[in-house]
């Protein structure tokens, strides 16, 4: 009954028609179809839009209030679909979907590129010492850990102690992996052919990547460290399970199997995330380094590399997180028997997290 009343009141408060290409507004639904990769890509471009970092507290309150007015059928005359979609974009970019609490700016998906790019540039600085490698890896994995935690599925309360345990485990293990593989890759050129073959078989992800490019090595190393990070930071979801909802948004139950799917999907996005940074910058920089400008002014190499990193990072993030919809769907037959018995729906949805 409550859902029907909400739908009726929202319909009564339908926005004014305007000469715009904006589709009819749907509260809580993405503006773009989530069944296609392109639709998800356009949706996540809104979520990671860095302009939302500059939204004031007043503008956020106005956006939330506009959506509340729509929900309760008290929308003022003249409000357009575009205004409602814009308000929902602001809310989704700043507030967590499960808790409705503000996500700290550096840990929002819209802040991932602006705050993460300087760290990526630091990771790729040449001639690093062990101390500088450890520092940049610690900073990178600390940022990743906080982003993973801030954008987790938060349908179950999590004590601060679990965050601290997850953070320490994630950062220590991820930094150990990254530094260890860095050292291994750097020493690969000194190995005998037989030892190098052994490394390629048992450690395929670095695979003596430094011989080809330091970017290649860094991307493989970051992929393995990122998986470790996201699993440890969100391990509590595997223990407690996450909420699954039916098509009407009603809570069906808590599922550990859905939590495993959510974690797997998120981990896969972290594998894909470094790939554009692996492929694009070496190609672009190899061409730019041959230009007369950079040959005459080698001091410009780092700023240019930073801009190339920023562009690659800006492409990588929406591509990676668009692999799966944030609200993922799963058949009840794949979940726990008690979940299947609790609903007549063939499928349920869950917040995968980002």
Which residues does 119 contact at the CB level (< 8 Å), separation at least 6?
Answer: 136, 139, 140, 143
**To the nearest whole percent, how much of the chain has pLDDT over 70?**
79
User: Cβ–Cβ contacts within 10 Å for residue 253, how many?
Assistant: 19
pLDDT over 90 at 205, yes or no: no
pTM of the model: 0.70
**Model confidence band, residue 61 (pLDDT cutoffs 50, 70, 90):** very high
**β-strand pairing of 347-351 with 251-255:** unpaired
> Do the beta carbons of residue 164 and residue 135 sit within 8 Å?
no
15-26 tens-digit pLDDT: 655 445 778 888
pLDDT over 60 at 9, yes or no: no
Mean pLDDT over residues 283-299, rounded? Answer: 82
> Do the beta carbons of residue 262 and residue 236 sit within 8 Å?
no
pLDDT at 292: 85
Average pLDDT, the chain: 77
Mean pLDDT over residues 263-279, rounded? Answer: 79
pLDDT at 85: 92
166-204 tens-digit pLDDT: 778 777 776 776 677 666 656 666 666 666 555 544 443
pLDDT over 80 at 43, yes or no: yes
Mean pLDDT over residues 327-354, rounded? Answer: 83
Mean pLDDT over residues 330-348, rounded? Answer: 83
**β-strand pairing of 242-245 with 251-255:** antiparallel
Between 188 and 289, the more confident residue is: 289
- Sign of CA pseudo-dihedral 184, 187, 188, 193: negative
pLDDT at 56: 92
**Model confidence band, residue 354 (pLDDT cutoffs 50, 70, 90):** confident
**To the nearest whole percent, how much of the chain has pLDDT over 90?**
8
94-150 tens-digit pLDDT: 998 888 889 999 999 888 888 888 887 777 676 677 788 788 878 887 888 888 888
């Amino acid at each position: 009954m409550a859902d029907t009343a909400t739908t009726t009141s929202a319909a009564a408060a339908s926005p004014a028609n305007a000469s715009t290409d904006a589709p009819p507004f749907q509260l809580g639904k993405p503006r773009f179809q989530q069944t296609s990769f392109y639709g998800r890509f356009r949706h996540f471009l809104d979520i990671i839009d860095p302009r939302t970092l500059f939204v004031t507290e007043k503008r956020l309150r106005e956006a939330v209030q506009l959506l509340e007015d729509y929900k309760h059928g008290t929308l003022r005359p003249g409000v357009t679909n575009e205004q409602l979609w814009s308000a929902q974009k602001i809310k989704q970019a700043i507030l967590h979907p499960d808790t409705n609490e503000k996500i700290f700016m550096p840990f929002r998906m819209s802040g991932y590129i602006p705050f993460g790019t300087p760290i990526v540039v630091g990771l790729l600085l040449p001639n690093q010492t062990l101390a500088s490698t450890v520092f940049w890896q610690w900073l990178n994995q600390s940022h990743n850990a906080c982003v993973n935690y801030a954008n987790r599925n938060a349908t179950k309360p999590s004590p601060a102690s679990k965050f601290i345990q997850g953070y320490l485990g994630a950062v220590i293990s991820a930094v150990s992996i990254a530094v260890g593989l860095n050292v291994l890759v750097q020493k690969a050129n000194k190995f005998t052919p037989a030892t190098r073959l052994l490394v390629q078989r048992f450690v395929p992800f670095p695979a003596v990547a430094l011989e080809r490019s330091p970017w290649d090595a860094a991307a493989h190393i970051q992929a393995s460290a990122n998986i470790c990070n996201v699993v440890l930071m969100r391990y509590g979801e595997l223990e407690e399970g996450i909420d699954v909802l039916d098509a009407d948004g009603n809570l069906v139950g808590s599922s550990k199997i859905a939590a495993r799917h959510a974690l797997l999907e998120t981990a896969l996005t972290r594998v894909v995330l470094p790939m554009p940074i692996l492929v694009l910058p070496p190609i672009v920089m190899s061409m730019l380094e041959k230009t007369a400008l950079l040959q005459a002014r080698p001091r410009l190499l780092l700023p240019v590399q930073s801009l190339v990193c920023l562009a690659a990072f800006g492409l990588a993030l929406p591509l990676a997180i668009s692999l799966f919809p944030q609200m993922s769907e799963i058949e009840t037959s794949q979940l726990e028997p008690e979940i299947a018995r609790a609903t007549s729906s063939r499928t349920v949805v869950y917040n995968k997290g980002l």
